[in-house]
A and B are shown apart, each in its own frame.
Chain A
Amino acid sequence: MLIGLFDGLFNGISIGAVLLIAALGLAIVFGLMGVINLAHGELMMLGAYTTFVVQNAFRQFGEPFFEIYIFFALIAAFFVTAGVGLILERGVIRYLYGRPLETLLATWGVSLILQQFVRSVNWVLVIGLAVFCVLFFGGLWILNHRQNRAFHKWAIAALLPLSLGIAIAVGRFLADTYQLAVTRPWFGAQNVDVSAPTWLRGGLPLGNFQLPYARLFIIALTIVCVAGLYYFLQRSPWGLRIRAVTQNRSMSSCLGIPTQKVDALTFALGSGLAGVAGCAISYLGSVGPNTGQNYIVDTFMVVVVGGVGKLVGTIVAALAIGTVNYLVGSGTLAILFTPIQPLADFFTFFATTSMAKVMVFALIIAFLQVRPGGIFPQKGRTVDA
């Protein structure tokens, strides 16, 4: 009985940890900046693919190095997704601040682009993109640093098709010359598998069940991420700037805080955390282009239930949803209520993964009727601003 409850609690917390680490980045981007980033799941997916790439690279180094690849994968996943997030913010989202509907559509579009990108990415695509970026943005840079502003707009208009044409031509040439070596997709549409290093396989035996090391690792990683994020926001100068801009953008800029830099940094940080989450979920199952979509709804749910703009709320909500989900889904509650027959029947009905989700959603809807602001709603004057 006690063991069963402990088992349920552990599994619930480990599901909650996955939810939390996935929602952490979103809590920053959505909670602090108010940007609805539907591409968050795809950023996680990119993090998972980065892990896959790093793993393959380390496999070539041989056994002792392969054991520690995971730490390099975490760092690489963080910086790759932070970089993608930075490009996304600078290129798309900063033009849409204060317009949630447009942001929603634009980031959804970005998520579709990213999904297709990992399906069809190959050398031709990468080299073509690189050539285009060098030509177009290099050309723009030169144009902007020229003194003579005559024909400026015309030059840009000519630059775009020119660099696009050259990039496509280079791609075609490469594809014709090297054939399959460069046109074969890197990952393809199939799922790929990330294999954990040997020390993450197996589990810690405890009585007649065991705690899988992979889950323990994710819990530890989540704790480290939460602590690191908390420390960064509360103690570092940039954290102070982020909190100030979140609460009063115009006054913060009047105080001399470069708000655009703060926005970019906040978004990059949230995206980087998505990458770390992607690295973590790659140990829970195989990784595919659609991996991110499985998580995006759950993560938004966690942030909304927790209360927008509150990290504590996100933590509590993730753990609560994870635990309830497992306790209902695994049938632990059904066993617990065996003495009371109708209740036991009721919980047995919901004791499958998908039905547990139905129940969790129903509970969340009911909960949000009572407390629309979430567990820890924002109070005071900040709400209306």
Chain B
Amino acid sequence: MSYTRDAIAPDATAVSQDKTLQVSDLNVYYGESHILRNVDLSVPAGQMVCLIGRNGVGKTTLLKSIMGLIRPRSGAIAFDGAVINSKTPDQRAKLGIGYVPQGREIIPRLTVKENLLLGLEARRNSKHSKEIAAEIFELFPVLKTMLSRMGGDLSGGQQQQLAIARALMGQPRLLVLDEPTEGIQPSIILEIEAAVRRIIATTGISVLLVEQHLHFVRQADYYYAMQKGGIVASGSTSELSQDVIQRFLAV
């Protein structure tokens, strides 16, 4: 870890309070292969930002770096104006980053209820509440009927809903979603989409989303397109042109 530059990049004065997340000049390597190249990205408070790009361009790597699962070689990741490069994943979760990874990563041999209760770990204050808030079941009614089932026995769509619910249990200020619709039947995709939209409307949290599904991408306020480990295009999703879609979405 001696190569991790904890020092902030010179232009990090640009880190401001109204950006929930600001990634500046991030470089990530797996061994000697250069995965992320000078990535700049920011998520404004209360907005939904979508990251698009074909398979293998580094989208998941970027999210993992934000979560702290991968150590960047250089660059800064700032959350709420404070650089969090040296923080471990559990510290970042406690700061208010809720992570829904690719493949859901539900703990298989724990019940749905226990999986949800694990989401409380990210909360800093409320040690007393051991109850699952009613809003969770309003968003995902299917979970209410399955509380005593093992997490690993749920279907893919149910697991995805559980993973989002689990992240919400920690009352995050930034929700990081990695391909929440991957490999899920269309009717459930619509449910998940609606839930995410409702979360943003009711709680006002920021969302960083990696998505291939065009319909979902259009829900976002802003998009970044990645290619070969770098950000190559960005803009408001209302201006998302057919050309960009053709080039960066694997449809």
Residues of A within 8 A of B (CB): 240-241, 243-244, 247-248, 250-259, 380-382
Q: Min CB distance, A238 to chain B, in Å? A: 11
| CB <8 Å contact, B118 and A247 | no
Residues of B within 8 A of A (CB): 67, 69, 88-90, 93-94, 99, 101, 105, 107-110, 114, 117-119, 121-123, 152, 166, 170
Residues of A with C-beta under 8 A to B109: 243, 247, 380, 382
Residues of A with C-beta under 8 A to B69: 250, 254
Q: Which residue of A lies closest to B88 (CB)?
A: A253
| CB <8 Å contact, B110 and A240 | yes
| CB <8 Å contact, A247 and B88 | no
Question: Which residue from A254, A258, A381 sits with its C-beta under 8 Å from B99?
Answer: A254
Q: Min CB distance, A179 to chain B, in Å? A: 50
Question: Which residue from B67, B108, B123 sits with its C-beta under 8 Å from A381?
Answer: B108
| CB <8 Å contact, A251 and B110 | no
Question: Which residue from A247, A253, A256, A259 sits with its C-beta under 8 Å from B107?
Answer: A247
| CB <8 Å contact, A244 and B108 | no
| CB <8 Å contact, B90 and A380 | no
| CB <8 Å contact, A247 and B108 | yes
Most buried by B among A241, A244, A251, A254: A254
| CB <8 Å contact, A251 and B105 | yes
Complex CA distance for A252 and B109, rounded to whole angstroms: 13
Known contacts A240-B118, A244-B118: A382-B110 contact under CB 8 Å: no
Can you offer 24 A-B residue contacts whose CB atoms are under 8 A?
A: A240-B117, A241-B121, A243-B109, A244-B110, A244-B118, A247-B108, A247-B109, A248-B107, A248-B108, A251-B107, A252-B107, A253-B88, A254-B90, A254-B99, A255-B93, A255-B122, A255-B166, A256-B121, A257-B118, A257-B121, A258-B90, A380-B108, A380-B152, A382-B152
| CB <8 Å contact, B152 and A251 | no
| CB <8 Å contact, A255 and B152 | no
Residues of B with C-beta under 8 A to A255: 90, 93, 99, 118-119, 121-122, 166, 170
Question: Which residue from A248, A253, A256, A259 sits with its C-beta under 8 Å from B170?
Answer: A256
| CB <8 Å contact, B107 and A254 | no
Complex CA distance for A247 and B67, rounded to whole angstroms: 19
| CB <8 Å contact, A254 and B114 | no
Q: Min CB distance, A266 to chain B, in Å? A: 16
Q: Min CB distance, B155 to chain A, in Å? A: 14
Complex CA distance for A251 and B152, rounded to whole angstroms: 14
Q: Min CB distance, A265 to chain B, in Å? A: 14
Question: Which residue from A241, A256, A380, A381 sits with its C-beta under 8 Å from B93?
Answer: A256
Known A254-B99, A255-B90; further 4 A-B contacts with Cβ < 8 A: A244-B107, A254-B90, A255-B166, A257-B90
Residues of B with C-beta under 8 A to A380: 108-109, 152
| CB <8 Å contact, A254 and B117 | no
Complex CA distance for A257 and B107, rounded to whole angstroms: 13
Residues of A with C-beta under 8 A to B88: 253
Residues of B with C-beta under 8 A to A257: 90, 118, 121
Residues of A with C-beta under 8 A to B121: 241, 255-257
